[in-house]
Structure 1
Amino acid sequence: MANSDHNKAAELHENAAKSHRAAAEQHGKGDHAKGMEHSKSAQQHSQSANKQSDQAHAKSQQQK
């Protein structure tokens, strides 16, 4: 079960990275409104990923 928790955390980190790249691309094109939307999404994904990582780590520690 812990492996699926780590996989979920990894998926959330990947989503955050995609949003960060999209934000950078939009800012680079001068579309700052779209860039801000992607930045907010990236922040939300990052926070979710961090929470999931903490939970996965805690579960891994309990199994030792």
Structure 2
Amino acid sequence: MTFSNQARIVELHKQAAHAHMTAAASHDKSDHLTAHELSQKAHELSMEALRLAKEQAKQARES
């Protein structure tokens, strides 16, 4: 796994964590629509990070 790919995966995880925290804050303020949208974005970022990590693991096994 190259450093740049690892860095991208880490960045996606950080962005997802930030979106989750922001969603929680929005939910606490009774802004449920924004909270839902942010939770959805966090999920999408997490899934992209997972996809990239799996792709990198597969490439590492094949090389």
- Indicate whether the TM-score tops 0.5: yes
CA positional deviation for 1:5: 1.0
Q: Structure 2 CA distance, aligned partners of 1:57 and 1:4?
A: 14
Task: List alignment gaps of at least 5 residues for structure 2.
Answer: none
Q: Give runs of ≥4 in structure 1 deviating > 4 Å.
A: none
2:2 matches 1:2: yes
Q: 1:3 to 1:61 in 2, by over 3 A?
A: farther
Task: Give CA deviations for 1:8-29 in whole Å, capped at 9, x if unaligned.
Answer: 1101111111111111110011
Matched, 1:30 2:30: yes
Query: 1:23, 1:36 within 8 Å by CA — same for their partners in 2?
Result: yes
Cα pair 1:22 1:38 within 8 Å, conserved: yes
Distance 2:35 2:41 in 1: 10
2:24 is the counterpart of 1:20: no
Q: Does the 8 Å CA contact 1:12/1:46 hold for their aligned counterparts?
A: yes
2:40 aligned partner: 40
Query: Where do 5+ consecutive residues of structure 1 fail to align?
Result: none
TM-aligned CA deviation for residue 58 of structure 1: 2.4
Question: 1 CA distance for matches of 2:10 and 2:56?
Answer: 10
Q: CA 1:2/1:61 → structure 2, altered by over 3 Å: closer, same or farther?
A: farther
